[in-house]
Every structure is written in structure tokens, then in C-alpha cells.
Amino acid sequence: MTGHGHVPRTAETERLRRALDIHGLVNLTGPPGAGKSALAGELGWKHVDLEHLDLKQLGPEHLAPDLGAPDLGDVDLGGPQGAGGAGPDPAACADDGVAVDGVVVDGVDGPGRAAALSALLGRARPWRLLLISRRPLPAQDGWTGHGVHTVRLPPLPDEDVDRLAGAAGIGDPGARALVVRLAGGVPALAHAACRALHAGATAADPGAVADRMADELTDRLARERPGARTLHALRLLATVGAGDEHLLSAGPGLITRLGRLSVVRGTALGLTVAEPFRTVLETAYHWRRPLAHHTVRSRAAAYRHTLLQRSEEPSGRAELVRQGLFLTGDPALRSALFPPAESSVTVGAATPDDTDAICVLMRRWAERGGFDRVRADRITERWLAHGPSAFRLARDGDGRAIGLASLLPVGDGTSGGVDQLLQQHAEQFVTGRRTGGLFLGAAYAPDPVAHSRVLGDILERSVHAGRLVVSTATDDYQRLVRVLGFQVLGAVRDDVFRCGRPPEVSSNVFTPAALGPWLDRLGPAAAAHAQAADERLVPEVARALARLGDPAGPVDSALLAYLPTPTPAALRRWLRDAAHDLATGDDAADAEAGAVLCAYYLGRSPVTHHQVAGRLHLGRATYFRRHRRGLLALAARLRAGA
């Protein structure tokens, strides 16, 4: 992953120069291939790469400019005293009148390098020093107290990546869009994608493009010395989103090694791969091993489902819901909630000082939706009347408000802020049996990553509140709530925003009992979730069938919870009827499976599997396949009916 085709980043270079002027000792950090070395090259300083040095021979001379073997004893290498120190005068460190600016030390990542450099700087620190690493040095052993100032290199804007692809000879707009999407602002990934396209992959084959990118990423990670098992675990981790020891079937040693990789982060649910590397690795794995990819994701979904059922804290449930949505694999949900890019955007409650920013963002929201500005301003005033905390603001790394959502608690006290957008549907939420929860009337963020943060925050708040009611007149949000499986109640009577589209009202329950079934219904992976749920019921179905002749059984069966009348007698009737229905159905395999169940479980006298197989003229293997098919069919009918 080389730096050919470097995109000049003037603003970032100036930001780096200012940090070096102020602090003297600066750590430039960013993911592999982000362009750190290329940016440092803009300084024109002496460049030292620790990757090519023997750490045992590392000495102060490596951190001093090449001035013909200067006598370090005559030069003050104390440097800045902590953060904010000015350091010695560069002119005092000159030879023949040539001023010295500073030194760039690259390749600080890798076993032992950060520690060796820390020990060296404990004895001697030159004037201005720029240290390049993938992870911030203060997060590594031995760097507490050095006063190093961290500068994080942000991803390239999409338009710059698009220009980079164009300069690399990628003329097809679809191919360039794929480069932009997979690169996630990382220049080296963009170059790798371009090479894959030139090698014959097309925009219609994102897996083939991502495979080349994943190979080059693996080469890049060689500096961190991951073994083959660690690299395989890395792509499994990318597939499941967030993973712990159980989900990855990994011991503590492997989890520790994974956690030390620069592209891996820790979260509430375990480790996760940072974007866009996660998307690249998963896309490549899906392309190489589609069946294994499906199996890994389905297993993860079942595990998250189990944890969700046992979770007692709303914050824990919110995290599990987010992972459950990720594991559906639905392209619309992935695009809206999980874009392949990192971001420093945060979301929190607005304060009284944010009123002006709220008004500005709400006007932009109205312009984007084609809404009448006067009408939109009146709605904003109504919501602000309940206090600025009715809004959640998305902020960038500098604290600027760049997106928002209006979230009002539903109840009598806020009816003035929700009635106009709910109209005929208001009563059932404000005073009816569905009282409570949150009302979402607006959500806006022009940046896709910031928008995903806003949506994620809305879902988290909804899990805490137990219900979300949405009123929206925009097509994209109406499509999104449908993809999310919300109950669509229909449009209100009036064209509230004078845009030619009355708002449409939808709602969804986010209570603990409703979360599991809701996630099971979502996305292309819903069938996998449903099958996993049916598989869990198969042993219970077999146990209940075996006890049909017992007048007292099956009194303790877990299947009772799936019946409208949860009594043993009702369950016995249901099982008999379901087996007979299956045996008389139109599908030949299902009918054969039903016949097996009837002959083995519903006969007047006990029989063995061998006897039933002979009576039905079925081979042993076929018989047991039909037996399991019948049990699975009854489990599916029971769960679907519930």
C-alpha cells in the first residue's frame, strides 16, 4: 500500500505545523494507509524510519538532524517541557548558518518500538519531533508523562477520493463510486481498489475488488506481526460486527492479540474492526467463502438474540439491538446505520446555548424536504417551547452542530408539539392504550456518517423509552421505517408542510419482550433468524409428542407459551392436528414427514423407528431426514402462529 498519487492536504499540513510550533513533541496518528508519512513529508524534515533500524542500536544521533555528526553534548536536547513548551531555538542547532526545523520518526508501531523510543526520549529530546504511529502513543506503555500532543489524521473527503480514482485512470462513474465507498477516505485503500479494477475486476464485483484491498491491508499489518490464526479471526470479527471470546470461539490469548492490532477497537460488546477496514474484510470474506460467511453471521445473530433475552439494562439492550440490526445484513440498513467510514461525530442533548444552531439546522431540514419555511419555523417554535432538550444534536470533532433529531416524550404535556403531525392518530398515543414513548418529527444530517450517528442515537433512545412514533413526509424516511419493520398507520389528513405530501405516521414497540421478535422479522437474514428459532424448538416438539399419551403431560413444556390457551390439553390437540395436516398436505416431502410423525407418535401401541421406517418403506437415512423435517415443520408452524 504505497503512497503513489498522493493528494496534497494543505489544511492538514498547516494544522500539523501549528501543533509542532506550539507543542514541540507531536504524535501524528491514523489508521494504516491514511497518508501519515506522505503528510509528514510535506514538512521537508529529516525522516527516520524505525522499521529499518535495529532497536538495540537506537540512539540520540538518530533523533538529531544530519549536521555532520553534531556534538550532542553541546546542544540542549531537553526540548519542550511538557505540552506547550517552545523548545530550543532551531537557529542554535545549525551548521554553517543552515537552520534546523525538526525530525520525523516513522514506524513507531510494532513490537518494542514505542517502548524503545520512550526510553530514548527519557534521556534526550531534540527540538521539534514528529512521531508517526497508527495508534496514539499515550495509549501505549511508557508514554505517560512525555507531554506528547496527539494529532489525528482524518479521512480524505469523498470528493478527494473520487479525484484520486480519476487520476489513477478509473473513468467509469460506477467504478469510481465503488472506490469511494470501499476506501472510506483511506488513500491506500483507494489505490488498492484502483489496482484491482485495472487488474480486471469490475464495479459489479465488489467482492473481487475488496479481496485485493484485503490482501494489501494484510501486508500492511505485517509490521504488527499478526499470525495466520489472528488474521483469520480478524475477518470473522469483521463479519460479526463486534465479538467476544464466545462468539469468536477464541481463547484469551487470541482476543488479546486481536485487540493489539491497530485496526481493532474495544466496544461494550467486545472487539470490533474499525471502518472502512471492517467493510473491506467482510466483503472479501463473503466473496471467498459465502457459505461460511452466512454461517458465521447466522450464529452471531442467534447469540445476540440469546443475550438480548437475558439483558436487564436498557443500555445493554440498545447495544444488542444495534448489533442485531447489523447482522440482518440488509443493504438499506447497512447503508443508513453502518456506513463504511470512521467519524468523530458525537450525539447528545441540546442546551439553551444551541437554540440558534437548532433553528439553522431545522431550516436546512425544511429546504431538503421541500417544506414551506413558515410552516417549518412554526413547528420548530412548538418543539422549542418544550425546551432545547427536545432536540438531540450531532457534533463534529470541533464541537460544531452538524445534524439533529427532534425527540419529544409522548404524553399530555407534549400534545401541543405532536398533535399537528399526528392528527387523527394522536389520541391513541397521547391518551390511548399506547401512551408513552418518544415522538420523532425531524431528523437531519447531510453527512452520511453523521446521519448514521443520529439514527443510531434515535434507536438507542427508543429502546430506553419503549416505543417510537414517527411522523415524516419524506420518501427516504418512509422507506426506512418500512425496512425497519415499523407498523405504518397511514398519512394524516392535512398537508402540514405544504409540500404536496401529508406526513405518514408509523410506530414500533421497543419493550424488552418485543425486541427479539422484531429483529427476527427484519432483513434478508430474517429467514436465517427464523430457522434458528425453529431449531431451538425442535427438541421441545419431540419431547411433547413423545408424551401425548400421558394425561398429565406435557404440563411443563416450553411450547405452552406459544398457544392462545396455554394448557396441556390444548397443546396435545394442536400437536395431533398439526401432524395430521402435515401428512395430508400437497408437498410430497412434507406429507411423508407428517406420515412419519403420525406413525411414530400417534399410533395406539409403542413402535420403534426401525418398525415405522419398514412400514412406510423408507430407508434409514431418508426416514430420519423426514422425521426431523416433520419436527421442524411443527416448530415453524407453532412459532409462526404465535
pLDDT in tens, 370-401: 999 999 999 999 999 999 989 999 999 889 99
Q: Which three cell numbers stand for residue 219?
A: 501486508
* Run of H or E including 346: strand 346-349
* Helix (H) or strand (E) segment spanning residue 394: strand 391-395
Question: What pLDDT was estimated at residue 93?
Answer: 44
Distance between CA atoms of residues 96 and 101, nearest Å: 15
For 487, list phi and psi in degrees, rounded to 5: -80, 120
Stated as kind and residue range, the H or E segment containing 407 is strand 401-409
The x, y and z cell numbers of residue 484, run together, are: 425497519
C-alpha cell at 402: 452538524
Kindly report, residue by residue over 87-98, the tens digit of the pLDDT.
Answer: 444 444 444 434
56, amino acid identity: K
Phi, psi of 502 (to 5 degrees): -65, 145
- Single-letter amino acid code for the residue at 459: L
* Distance between CA atoms of residues 590 and 585, nearest Å: 7
Strands (E) in 459-560, as ranges, are: 467-472, 487-491, 504-509
Q: What is the number of other CB atoms lying within 10 angstroms of the CB of residue 251?
A: 9
Helix, strand, or coil (residue 423): helix
Give me the DSSP letters along 291-317. Answer: HHHHHHHHHHHHHHHHHHHH--SHHHH
Q: Region 187-212: what's the mean pLDDT?
A: 96
Q: How confident is the model at residue 556 (pLDDT cuts 50, 70, 90)?
A: confident
Give the model confidence (pLDDT) of 309-330 as tens digits. 899 899 999 999 999 999 998 8
| pTM confidence score | 0.77
Q: What is the pLDDT of residue 416?
A: 77
Q: What is the predicted pLDDT for the residue at 451?
A: 96
Per DSSP, helices labelled H in 521-619 are 526-546, 568-583, 588-601, 609-615
Handedness of CA 545, 546, 551, 557 (dihedral sign): negative
Dist. CA 569–CA 148, nearest whole Å: 73
- Please list, in sequence order, all residues whose beta carbon lies within 8 angstroms of the beta carbon of residue 288, skipping any fewer than 6 positions away: 207, 211
**What is the end-to-end Cα distance of the chain in Å, rounded?**
54
Give the mean pLDDT of the chain. Answer: 86
